[in-house]
Structure 1
Amino acid sequence: MQNTIIARTFAEAFYDIICDSKDKKDLLDQLSFLVKCIDEQHDFHTFLITPKVSYVAKKDFIEKVFRGKLHDTLVDFLQVLTNKGHLSAICDIYREVESLQELEGSKVKVFVTTATSLLEDAKSKIKKTLEKKLSAEVVLVEQVNADIIGGFIVRVEDTLVNGSIKHHLEKIGNCILERSKTYGI
């Protein structure tokens, strides 16, 4: 949870910086390329995440390897991450930046969790209903989790609607336990 908050915070800061830049597309492409390199190069990834490598060594590395090859804004951002001790979160930050880019304009990302995969007709109906309710274009992200037994869970940003059967059964069970305590059963 803490890593998600850190990644989202830095992603929002980076996205705010580049939003009005004429080089926005280049910056996003360069960040994408960098993250791809990190994912593909195990040694590079290890270098970034290991606490045994000092932040000074990491800063020097970033300066020598990337300055002049990547956009200065991106290199400066990497230096800030290094100073704050969050360079290892760059991949998570990139995923959050992707989400922000996806949501640019009047789009809203909605996560729908069901016990089984939704049929296309059901997805379409859910999407239309949510678009009407939220007054925005919905980017539907389907998640399947058999543990919820049935029903659905919908998450929009920080709002969660839990209509799962598992959730309702837990509420009923808690209610029965409370009543049994009240009546000494």
Structure 2
Amino acid sequence: MAELITLARPYAKAAFETAQAENRLAEWSEVLAFAAQVTANSDVRALLASPRVADERKADFLIELFGEGLSDSATNFVKLLAENQRLALLPHIHTLFETARADLERTVDIEVSAPYELTEEQQQKLSQALSKKLERKVSLATTVDTSLIGGVVVRTGDMVIDASVRGKLTKMAEALSS
């Protein structure tokens, strides 16, 4: 996995720089999201991995799926990936692109788990507090996890804030058993 991310990084950087220079971050984001979704399909992955299909034909296949709305630079990007046999990296390129875009736009997606459905007011307060703490615009997604007993668990990227009763009980049990 880390190897694929490493291979995808220069392509994601090039795509991001191109999108930024063209002032088309949203368009590139949509293109890469669609490409990532298409290439995640097992049949498409098999086609892209097939040595029997020419790289140029693989690129043409993806470009046809996009339809008429694909910019020249995005078309060239897909052709470049095909030429270098890197079309399978599109899901990773999309992930890295979105990370760079979020950094530029100072946004963050946060998942909050709670033992009950949070009210709109609670979500608003939590969003404001996290926005202030992280110094970013927060997009909140909530899920219900009744095993938490009380409190919340906040996740974004590799950061986890466990303010749940279950988490506190687990820490207490670990401290007592030490």
Amino acid in the other structure paired with 1:61? R
1:20 aligns with 2:21: yes
Q: How many residues are paired up?
A: 172
In the alignment, which residue of structure 1 is the partner of 2:147? 147
- Name the SS for the 1:163 alignment partner: strand
Q: CA RMSD in A?
A: 3.9
Cα distance, 1:80 vs. partner? 5.4
2:57 corresponds to which of 45, 56, 61:
61
The 1:93/1:144 distance shift into structure 2, 3 A limit, reads: farther
Amino acid in the other structure paired with 2:162? N
Aligned equivalents of 2:39, 2:101: Cα separation in 1: 21
Which residues of 2 match residues 35-184 of structure 1 at below 5 A?
38=38, 43-48=43-48, 51=49, 53-54=50-51, 57=53, 59-65=55-61, 66=63, 70-79=70-79, 81-82=81-82, 87-91=87-91, 93-94=93-94, 97=97, 101=101, 104-178=104-178
Aligned equivalents of 1:111, 1:27: Cα separation in 2: 25
Q: Whose radius of gyration is greater, 1 or 2?
A: 1
Unaligned runs of 5+ in 2: none
The 1:128/1:87 distance shift into structure 2, 3 A limit, reads: same
Amino acid in the other structure paired with 1:14? A
Cα distance, 1:110 vs. partner? 2.4
Cα distance, 1:124 vs. partner? 0.9
Range 18-27 or range 123-132, more displaced: 18-27
Amino acid in the other structure paired with 1:57? V
Aligned equivalents of 2:147, 2:4: Cα separation in 1: 24
Provide the TM-score with structure 1 as the length reference.
Answer: 0.65
Unaligned runs of 5+ in 1: 179-185
- Name the SS for the 1:122 alignment partner: helix
Aligned equivalents of 2:7, 2:142: Cα separation in 1: 22
1:40-60, CA deviations, whole angstroms, 9 ceiling, x for partnerless residues?
987435423xx4x13x83523
The 1:117/1:92 distance shift into structure 2, 3 A limit, reads: farther
The 1:115/1:31 distance shift into structure 2, 3 A limit, reads: same
Cα distance, 1:126 vs. partner? 0.7
Aligned equivalents of 2:54, 2:152: Cα separation in 1: 45
Aligned equivalents of 1:3, 1:146: Cα separation in 2: 37
Percent sequence identity over matched residues?
21
